[in-house]
Amino acid sequence: MSDADIDDFDDDFVDDEDAKLVEEAETSARTRLSSLEKRRLIDNLLEEKRLAKELKDELDTLDEDDEWDDEWDDE
């Protein structure tokens, strides 16, 4: 097969409507997967922040309880 034949084949493929539809579908699928992955990462980050705040609040509450216990022990 000569180089001219290969070039003709490539041109036929690029002009093929089905090939364009397949390429558009693949691009759309990649975009959706990328968006879903970004959303999952954002959700995980928000969950980590929520858990960190919850833990901080719990530790603050424990510190306040310890201060009360210290004052009670002094009397």
pLDDT for res 55? 93
Confirm whether pTM is higher than 0.85.
no
Whether the CB-CB separation of 59 and 52 falls below 8 Å is answered with: no
Mean pLDDT of the region 14-36:
85
Task: In whole angstroms, give the CA distance from residue 75 to residue 70.
Answer: 9
What would you report as the CA-atom Rg of the chain, rounded to the nearest whole angstrom? 31
Range among 44-48, 59-63, 68-72 with highest mean pLDDT value: 44-48
DSSP H helical ranges for the chain: 3-15, 17-74
Burial 45-75 (b: 16+ CB within 10 A, else e): eeeeeeeeeeeeeeeeeeeeeeeeeeeeeee
